[in-house]
Chain A
Amino acid sequence: MRIPRMRFPTFGPTLYGLALVMVVLGVATPFLPIIVKVQLINFLLFVGLAYALNFMTGLTGYVSFGHAIFMGIGAYALGGGIDRLGFPPLLGVILGAGLGAAFAVGIGLVTLRFRGVYFAITTLVLFLAAKNIVPEISQLGGGVGIFMNLGFQPLAEFYTIWTIVVLEIGLTYWVTHGRLGYGLRAIKSDEDAAKTVGVNASRLKLTVFGISGMFAGATGAVYAWTLSAVLPDTGFDITYSLRMLAMIIIGGAGTLLGPFLGAIIVYVPYNYFQTVQSLLGLQLAVIGALVLLIALFIPTGIVGTIRRHVPILRRYIE
């Protein structure tokens, strides 16, 4: 039997709200002071990463500890594209997205057979292996990295990451409200049962893992663009894996608004603590404590908990 397509005459307040925020950001940014522009770029990088992981961990429940591997692939794609092939940065970002998706599908074909903690450990191990192997490849700059001398292009960077985030929000909405969403929710609650009723679990998982890798790759490429360099340490930075996971867990995994909220909550201390010397090392500790408490007491995150306990808001927040 074919599952009927869900009908949605309106898009719902959450999507309109997010669209409004993105339009305001898109229109206002050229007129803002340079320091605010830089902060907005960094903030949107966090948002982009949060939505990227949300496709995989949020929608299927498969926890990935190594998602920064796709950031690294995107970053090296940009670096290689600019340094070796003479690409303009935008083409480098597209290459990053393509390679991110390709690697995600390749990795997913093998690792998506593993469930639960085994998948989580495998992603972590793959990340560490890549971090060890890439500095050994002399074509990719070896242990030194690639320096691109792109100069400072805040507006181009901003609109690239802005476009990525807009695409992610739209695609998240489309995936969660379509046929794909039914299957993914079924996989998340019980994969074996989902298979029994005819959900092609492996294909669905591979699809969202590919989307997830594509966006993480694109975001990683923009991150490298803002640094104007790809170094082994900034390309493959485990703390970004950890932040991605923290953002969607805090905000609410698998929701439309959650990753955005989580990105705000993780980005503000990250940005503020960097300016206060005594708090420098504590930002990840604070975020960790938040993750610990949320996992134990409200495992569905902020958005999921609001939806569960305040039925009136269920229509407005998703």
Chain B
Amino acid sequence: MADLGLVVADLVVGLMLGCVFAVIAHGLNVIWGVTKVVNVAHGEFIMLGAYGAYYLNVYLGFNPVLSVPVDAAIGIGVGFLFYFGLLHRELRGKEAITRESEMVTLVATFGLSLVISNAALAIFKGDAVGIRWAPETLDLGPFDVALGGLYVAISSVAIIAISDLFLSRTYLGNAIRAYSQDIGAAQLMGINPARIAAIATAIGFALTMAGGALLTVWLPVGITPLIGATYAPISFVIVVLGGPGKMWGSLLGGLTLGILIDVLPAFGISASIAVAVAFLVLIPVLLFAREGILR
């Protein structure tokens, strides 16, 4: 049997990691839930967010948590560009996304991900960079908690809570939810579908890039142009686990993955098997709980 203290320590780290996973998947969750488009290039925008935080740190001395609003503002711009450059042609004038459009956007964003990751490789070079930001640790007796990770976890939960409040309590949020449920009915209520889809995509990108900024805390020397390929599949699994369009689903999925990846090694399972197990959780969920674990 594994050492209990070790398990608890791993659990705490896993919970904090899970919060970061949740926030990087959250943008995908919003876009997927509202427009029903799966952005395969999601990981590349996380990567751009991480580089955004890195350059803000190098030139302006921002720490990752401070660079969240800046990254989010950039993300809004990128989101509008993405919507009007790519999605608008497919979504415009449709009352429900067709399977054909779904496949077109899937393949198009797949092409986009190749472009962005390889262009980034040419521009940023392959060297791993990182942000030196190490706030103190919190002494909890048997183990320590890194405050950096804790701040990030708190920011992540706060971001998810705010997005949930925004969607349930504001007019714009209600319009977005109406759009995601029934485009035709939303239109009859005087909602401009293209505007709502564009705004939702922009919010999704803001969240994605903000997530990329928060992720840098976990990659002290590991920001490369290729991190997208690692974090995009994690995000896909998280969103399917929680159910696309359910705000707290991101947190549930993220925590599940974070705990599996960090706690399984405490029971003597190797780290890469733990990652594989975390990925494979997707299959029973798809088989038995199609709409995600959260009801």
Contacts and interface: CB of A to CB of B under 8 A. Distances in A.
Interface of A: 61, 63, 65, 110-111, 113-118, 120-122, 124-126, 128-130, 132-133, 135-136, 238, 242, 245-246, 249, 281-285, 287-296, 299
A227 B95 CA distance: 51
B108 A132 contact: no
Given A113-B287, A291-B111, A136 B270 contact: yes
B66 interface: no
Contacts of A245: 107, 110
Contacts of B282: 121-122, 125
Contacts, number: 122
Nearest to A296: B108
A129 B281 CA distance: 11
Contact of B112 (A129, A242, A282, A292): A292
Contacts of B283: 110-111, 122, 125
A107 to B, nearest CB: 10
B104 A118 contact: no
Contacts of B248: none
Nearest to B90: A296
Interface stretch (B118-126, B147-155, B210-218): B118-126
Nearest to B126: A281
Contacts of A117: 38, 102, 106
Contacts of A113: 287
A125 B122 contact: no
B115 interface: yes
Contacts of A126: 280
27 contacts: A63-B103, A63-B106, A110-B287, A117-B102, A121-B233, A121-B236, A121-B282, A122-B282, A124-B233, A125-B237, A132-B276, A133-B273, A136-B272, A245-B107, A281-B118, A284-B117, A285-B118, A288-B110, A288-B112, A288-B115, A291-B108, A291-B110, A291-B111, A294-B111, A295-B111, A296-B104, A299-B103
Classify chain B's interface size.
35 or more
Contacts of A118: 240, 286
A191 to B, nearest CB: 9
B122 A285 contact: yes
A129 B276 contact: yes
Contacts of A290: 111
B18 to A, nearest CB: 18
Nearest to A113: B287
Contacts of A293: 111
A132 B111 contact: no
A267 B282 CA distance: 34
Given A110-B287, A281-B118, A125 B107 contact: no
B229 interface: yes
Interface string B33-64: 00000101000000000000000000000000
Interface string B70-106: 0000000000000000100100000000011011101
Contacts of B233: 121, 124-125, 128
B122 to A, nearest CB: 5
Contacts of A242: 110, 114
Given A114-B286, A136-B272, A285-B119, A291 B107 contact: yes
Given A120-B106, A125-B236, A128-B279, 11 more contacts: A61-B103, A117-B38, A120-B38, A129-B279, A129-B280, A284-B117, A285-B114, A288-B110, A288-B111, A292-B115, A299-B100
